[in-house]
A and B are shown apart, each in its own frame.
Chain A
């Protein structure tokens, strides 16, 4: 049974709730390669949780375990009080988990609006025929979903590219559209895989603001992987540090920053 953790209050006064997701003793192997070795941590309601680590530390594998894309050979994944078995992507989406990708995975030929609308697919119940014929349920659904999408477009300030094909957008905006699509699914847990990778300072600042706003406005729990240490320390409430598939630190940004193992992992240690 999952342990019920008490919530806590962050420095800026947000109330963080109990545990949403708990990972217990996760080990993930690809053949002989051990990507993740015996890692346990939790994600709590309403917090921004970061996973950091040097290249090849196993961060993306970890995110894929959380999203249910990989099923670990050992260990347990508990989500909202239930132990999770192997799942199909649509089942993950229905559970309320959405994600963005390190290498943008949008439909280049489709407009921004249509891309974001795909995020609403699991909210649509009208059948294929009904949608094709534009019958009443289909029409009502489309309108409702369009409204939800427009609110997200407004929220992320991308009104001016609503009708632009995604392929024509610069990188920073594509990332924002990806976030919009993930938000369109109204997730309870939002997974962001390097949301700031390859961005300039201004784009990073914009993205940070949007992540904070999403967390603040919708109360979405966010788990993110990020390379930019400055960003991670500013954004997140708690940080997990990985190195060579193991967890070497876990705590608030300040605790992590002063953790000797973490410093060694990032700066290297002298072997003599």
Chain B
């Protein structure tokens, strides 16, 4: 594929890539969108004409180099075009989360000082107007969907189609100016500004240059051998860096087709119709799909259930090995082939994953069962590790070296090192330019040599060279004997069991680890119902001996898997208890995004923590709870504490003794 090598020095901006794609793939589809029940499509040549008309329209409206053009709406070709048109004018596109409420939007719009705002529909326009009433800012609004917009004051408002019409009319007059602006773009021009979600304080505007986006897209497209024949479905928020890299960076670099679903609710149907070859989804999407498959199988007839079970047995045995190119016996291959015809082929098709050649998941830990389920169907699902500041890619898994517990090797062009405290640092062509109007944060995140701290702790496996992320760096501690303590690593493993809703692992500065566990009422309650176990309350169910037995099995299984890892084997849970109440944001035990607040829990349940370490087998406790109406009450309970088997302590001591 020599023709895919770029003429060096030319392709230094997204508009330049667009021009190349028109020249090379002019009649291939660039964008598709399902509208009015039909997939409408635009070739690269058609899309380029639309984008140019829009850019000319922007110029006519007064967009100037350096302006910020905010884009708020669902994934639609017109919105991607708006971003490229803004770049053509020398402006910087700022995609925003469409489900953000007006107050959240106000901060970002004010911070970037957007003078032009491209809104998807009336709902977004209303939010922008609400923000403007509050802040007094005045921006030009451009809207894509005309519905319900007729009665609005149009003195500062235009329909996107009208802006394009105006642009087309002004082509003669403004064309040379636009060409000059496009020619002026280079590797150091800003490509996009993306706001981080802001779990810690205010959102920060991450400025990414053409160099960041294009180099990253080029390296990673080559890593997975993406070409113009790929199909992707653009359904993740446009404000998220991943969508920008996949649907803009890589799509532009490789020249493949971006398909926009009709709406969020039609996503599954649309995906089945398109059959993407390159697919990204966060773990919860895969989890949701798997759950709905399992529920439907449970409801199916006996023959189908049997077929599914048999098929999946074969798939689990053979599928991952086939994907990894490992030797598989002839008989197994035949069995897999038959299973594919009757079971997993149709299943993949239903999920819209038949044609997936490269699939990625990232964002949080994915349960090994879920990961293996998709792998065994023959879907090449891999993991990557990244963040906005890196233009996504830090590490990713090469084909044939895929495991659920690593995040792969450094992406091409990325250097990764582990700091003394175990924190992961990286330096790459994708490393962001700066945080907009926030030099202080820029300096504290990126050092003068260009190394960026991720805030995550991890280590490289010596045997494979793969990176493993264990926890947020600030949560990683040391145990009394100096071994590494990574609570979230163990908690995630525990939480992969459907019966366990939450787990808190304690052990920083202690001799051994212990855990407090929350059962999942729906899963455990369902189990109790099926086994005729009666219970009067959450508390009673949580304390049921059989529930304890089940949880102990889970904890033991987790210990066994933690023990396999010499660096983390100290994190095995020696003793545990099942909490008598659910950890609740209302009681301050968790954040609103359901992250455990360790300090609060250590403090509030100090008596339980003490009991976990003083060897007692039960503890009576009283806990304050907040009811939904804000009143407070007390619940008291006697909790049992159980010991659990730990594994592989011998090897650890041997290593220490040598």
Contacts and interface: CB of A to CB of B under 8 A. Distances in A.
Interface of A: 12-13, 146-147, 150-151, 153-155, 157, 159-160, 162-163, 213, 216-217
Contacts, number: 34
A217 B147 contact: yes
Contacts of B151: 12-13, 216
Interface string B2-38: 0000000000000000000000000000000001111
Given A155-B147, A213-B148, A216-B151, A160 B38 contact: no
Interface of A is mostly: helix
Interface in B258-276: 262-263, 265-266, 269
B654 interface: no
B36 A150 contact: yes
Contact of B148 (A12, A146, A159, A217): A217
B263 to A, nearest CB: 6
Nearest to A149: B37
A13 B151 CA distance: 9
Interface of B: 35-38, 147-148, 150-151, 262-263, 265-266, 269
A153 B147 contact: no
Contacts of A159: 37, 262-263, 265-266
Contacts of B36: 147, 150-151, 153-154
A157 B38 contact: no
Nearest to B266: A160
Nearest to B150: A216
Question: Which 8 interchain pairs have the tightest Cβ spacing?
Answer: A160-B265, A150-B36, A150-B37, A160-B266, A159-B262, A159-B266, A213-B148, A159-B263
A154 B265 contact: no
A155 B145 CA distance: 11
B147 A160 contact: no
A157 B148 CA distance: 13
Nearest to A154: B36
A155 B148 CA distance: 10
A205 B278 CA distance: 39
Contacts of A153: 36-37
Contact of A150 (B38, B148, B266): B38
A150 B35 CA distance: 8
Contacts of A151: 36
A154 B35 contact: yes
Contacts of A213: 147-148
A147 B263 CA distance: 18
Nearest to A14: B151
Interface of B is mostly: loop
Nearest to A12: B151
A146 B263 CA distance: 20
B148 A160 contact: no
A22 B221 CA distance: 69
Nearest to A155: B147
A157 B263 contact: yes
A91 to B, nearest CB: 31
Given A12-B151, A150-B37, A213-B147, 17 more contacts: A13-B151, A147-B36, A150-B36, A150-B38, A151-B36, A153-B37, A154-B35, A157-B263, A159-B262, A159-B265, A159-B266, A160-B262, A160-B266, A163-B269, A216-B148, A216-B151, A217-B148
A45 to B, nearest CB: 17
Nearest to A157: B263
A162 B37 contact: yes
Contacts of B148: 213, 216-217
Contacts of A146: 37
A230 to B, nearest CB: 21
6 contacts: A146-B37, A159-B266, A160-B266, A163-B269, A216-B151, A217-B147
A163 B263 CA distance: 15
Contacts of B35: 154
A217 B37 CA distance: 21
A216 B148 CA distance: 7
A241 to B, nearest CB: 28
B415 to A, nearest CB: 45
A160 B263 contact: yes
A8 B266 CA distance: 42
A213 B121 CA distance: 13
Contacts of B263: 157, 159-160
A151 to B, nearest CB: 6
Nearest to A113: B37
Contacts of A154: 35-36
A153 B36 CA distance: 8
Nearest to B36: A150
Nearest to B38: A150
Contacts of A13: 151
A160 B269 CA distance: 8
A251 to B, nearest CB: 24
A155 B122 CA distance: 13
Nearest to A160: B265
B441 to A, nearest CB: 40
Nearest to B146: A217
Nearest to B145: A154
A259 to B, nearest CB: 29
Nearest to A216: B150
A252 B36 CA distance: 38
A154 B40 CA distance: 14
Nearest to A213: B148
A13 B152 CA distance: 11
A51 B262 CA distance: 37
A26 to B, nearest CB: 35
A114 to B, nearest CB: 13
Contacts of B269: 160, 163
Contacts of A155: 147
A58 to B, nearest CB: 35
A163 B270 CA distance: 13
Nearest to B262: A159
A190 B50 CA distance: 38
A162 B34 CA distance: 13
Nearest to B35: A154
B566 to A, nearest CB: 50
A155 B37 CA distance: 12
A216 B150 CA distance: 8
A160 B38 CA distance: 13
A129 to B, nearest CB: 27
A213 B150 CA distance: 10
- Give the interface centre of A154, A159, A162 by most chain B CB atoms within 10 Å: A159
